[in-house]
Structure formats: C-alpha cells, structure tokens
Amino acid sequence: MNEEKDDLAIEIVVLDAYFSCRSNKPGLNMVQDNKTTQQIIDETADTLELDDKTVVTYMVEHGYLLTEDDDGSPIWMVYRMR
C-alpha cells in the first residue's frame, strides 16, 4: 500500500510541474491551450508514464473543466502563460 502512495505522490509532483505555468482560469498573459487527457499523458511521457485515471483525477481535483472540442469530443480547458 505504501508503494501505491509513493507512486501517486510522484505522479502528483510531475503533474504539478507540468501545470506550474498553466491554469484552470484565464488571466493576464494567459492564452487558451486546451488539452485532451491523452495530450497531457503524451507531453509528460518523457518524465513519467501516467495513466488516464490519474490525469483525470488530478484535473477534477484542481478545478479544470471539460468543454467540447471542434469535433465534439471532450477536452480540458487549460490556460497557459505566454
């Protein structure tokens, strides 16, 4: 059980770092940069392989909302510093 907790803590560190220059709300010097769960997984893969449940849980717990992409599929609303 402790190994699972340690793994989750490491995953949170990676996601915190990835989102350190991103936000769930627009702001000054921020540009909308929506991401799918898979895009987030792909963009962090060089650091750590994450699974979709971990990413989705993180997004929900940090107040990120889903919107509809141009093709109608769900996508996370993400704002990135310019």
Q: pLDDT digits over 24-80, tens only?
A: 999 999 999 999 999 999 999 999 999 999 999 999 999 999 999 999 999 999 999
> Based on the structure, what is the number of domains in the chain?
1
* HSE-CB of 59 using CA atoms within 13 angstroms: 22
**With 60 as the cut, is the pLDDT of residue 10 above it?**
yes
**With 60 as the cut, is the pLDDT of residue 5 above it?**
yes
- If one compares 31 and 3, the residue with the highest pLDDT of the two is 31
pTM of the model: 0.91
Containing domain of residue 77, as a range? 2-81
Q: How confident is the model at residue 1 (pLDDT cuts 50, 70, 90)?
A: low
Q: Which CATH number belongs to the domain containing residue 67 in this structure?
A: 1.10.10
Task: Give the start-end residues of each E strand in the chain.
Answer: 22-23, 30-32, 66-68, 74-76, 79-81
